[in-house]
Structure 1
Amino acid sequence: MKTIYLFLLSITIFSCQNQTKVDADIAKKATIDSMKIVIENQKIIDSMNLKMAKIVRQKQEKEVVYVNQNGSSTTTNTTTKKKKWSGAAKGAVIGAGVGAVTGAIISKKKGEGAIIGGIAGAGVGAVTGDIIEDSKKKK
């Protein structure tokens, strides 16, 4: 009977040692697989960043204009930049919208209130936008 218990105990010990090796191998494979997935995702992100950089670079490329004078051709490089709105213009648009909505809500004559509110709001918004823009330039 003792021999049977010793036999079962030894089988249990050997099987547990073997199981830890199997668990370690499974853990290694899982780690390697997750690392491969992360690497693939990073490759995709890098390729997307390269494409976006290429698109931005193409937008910023210089425009080439060919001028033919006296049979000779010259090349002039010009850059095209979008004009940005001034602070006063932004303020005027926002103020006009808010003033028109407020005037239409408050006034009994909706159309007339919207027009008056829009004009007043545009004036106040333009002044406010200009003041804010000047304070940003000073900083």
Structure 2
Amino acid sequence: MKSAVTAGSLRPGRKASSLLAEFKAFALKGNVIDLAIAVVIGTAFAKIVDSLVKHIIMPLVSLVFPAEQGYLGWKLVIGAKEVPYGLFIGEVVNFLIIALALYIFMVKFLGFVMKTKKEEPTAPLPPTKEEQLLGEIRDLLKQQRA
């Protein structure tokens, strides 16, 4: 029984360098770097919004609907089980703020930018060779009629 693997077919150094070269080409593409930057900025933004919700907005909401532990204490008790709906409401508010920020940025701001780019007047294109020839023929015909 012969082995399918021969001595020359396995070259770990060559395969590793090829894999490394392919990964380098992939990782250094502009889109991948842009995506990585967007993920880092998005994560940082989510932490800021999370802090805003937990430390400012929900404590203010807790003033309207007081509980012993603020909104964290809002629970529905069913038998021996507790359903912490206050935490859920906090996460919903968190989501809504992020969704609103994305909407404002993506739809309104980028829409405004795109509209301004469309409204910029562009210089008319110079006539093509064919259009120039047609114009000359028209002018010659006008001269012949006159």
Query: TM-score, normalising length from structure 2?
Result: 0.31
More strand by share: 1
* Larger relative contact order, structure 1 or 2 (CA cutoff 8 Å, min sep 6): 1
Query: TM-score, normalising length from structure 1?
Result: 0.33
Tell me which structure has the larger Cα radius of gyration: 1
